[in-house]
Amino acid sequence: MYRYDNIDQRLVDERVAQFRDQTRRFLAGELGEDDFRALRLRNGLYVQRYAPMLRIAIPYGLLSTKQLRKLASIARNYDRGYGHFSTRQNLQLNWPKLEQVPDILAELATVEMHAIQTSGNCVRNITADHFAGVARDEIVDSFLWCELIRQWSTFHPEFNYLPRKFKIAVNGAVADRVATFVHDIGLHAVKDAAGDIGFRVIVGGGLGRTPSVGHVIREFLPWPHLLTYLDAILRVYNLHGRRDNIHKARIKILVKERGVEKFRDEVEAEWLRLRDGPATVTAEEIRRIEARFTRPQYQKLADVKYPETKTPFSAWMKRNVHAHQQPGYAAVSVSLKKTGVPPGDMTSAQMERIAELADHYSFGELRVTHEQNLVFADVRQSELPGLWHALRELGLATPNIGLLTNIVCCPGGDFCSLANAKSIPVAEAIQRRFEDLDYLHDIGELDLNISGCMNACGHHHVGHIGILGVDKNGEEWYQVEIGGNQGQSTISNRDGEGNRGLSLISASLGKVIGPSFARADVPDVIERLIDAYLGLRDSENERFVDVVHRTGVEPFKKHVYANLDQKPADRRRALAAA
Q: Which residues bind other proteins (CB under 8 A)?
A: 5, 7, 10-11, 14-15, 18, 22, 30, 34-35, 38-39, 121, 151-152, 154-163, 227, 235, 238-239, 243, 273, 277-279, 281-282, 284-285, 288
Nearer to other proteins, 24 or 191 (CB): 24
Rounded (10°) CA dihedral 368, 370, 372, 374? -30
Q: Which is nearer to other proteins, 74 or 203 (CB)?
A: 203
Q: Are 396 and 350 in contact (CB under 8 A)?
A: yes
Question: Of 342, 347, 464, 362, nearest to 410 (Cα)?
Answer: 342
Do 466 and 559 touch, CB atoms closer than 8 A?
A: no
Question: For residues 287 and 550, which CB has a smaller minimum distance to other proteins in the complex?
Answer: 287
Closest CA to 189 of 202, 167, 177, 174: 174
Which of residues 66 and 292 has its CB atom nearest to other proteins in the complex?
292
Answer yes or no: are the C-beta atoms of 382 and 328 closer than 8 Å: yes
Task: Choose between 159 and 434: whose C-beta lies nearer to other proteins.
Answer: 159
φ, ψ at 141 (rounded to 5°): -80, 105
Residue nearer to other proteins on the CB measure, 157 or 340: 157
Would you call 143 helix, strand, or coil by DSSP? helix
Residue 406's nearest CA partner among 313, 336, 488, 331 is: 336
CA distances from 297 to 2, 104, 360 (A): 16, 33, 14
Question: Cβ of residue 283: shortest distance to other proteins, in angstroms?
Answer: 10
For residue 38, the minimal CB distance to other proteins (Å) is 5
- The distance of closest approach from Cβ of residue 115 to other proteins in the complex, given in angstroms and rounded to an integer, is 17
State the nearest-atom distance from the C-beta of 99 to other proteins, in Å.
19
First-last CA distance in the chain: 61
Q: Which is nearer to other proteins, 236 or 354 (CB)?
A: 236
Closest CB to other proteins among residues 281, 349: 281
Q: With residue 127 as reference, give the H or E element that holds it.
A: strand 127-128
Q: Are strands 45-47 and 127-128 parallel, antiparallel or unpaired?
A: unpaired
CB of 347 to other proteins, least distance (A): 36
Count the Cβ atoms, other than its own, within 10 Å of residue 296: 15
User: Which residue, 283 or 578, is less far from other proteins as judged by CB?
Assistant: 283
Sheet holding 168-171, edge to edge: 127-128, 168-171, 185-191, 197-203, 215-222
Q: Which of 100, 158, 123 is nearest to 42 (CA)?
A: 123
Estimate to the nearest angstrom the gap between the alpha carbon of 36 and the chain centroid.
Answer: 28
Query: Residue 399 and residue 340: Cα distance in Å, rounded?
Result: 15
Give which of 356, 409, 343 is closest to 386, Cα–Cα: 356
With respect to other proteins, which residue has the nearer C-beta, 234 or 387?
Answer: 234
Least distance in angstroms from the C-beta of 475 to other proteins: 35
Q: State the minimum distance, in angstroms, from the CB of residue 156 to other proteins.
A: 5
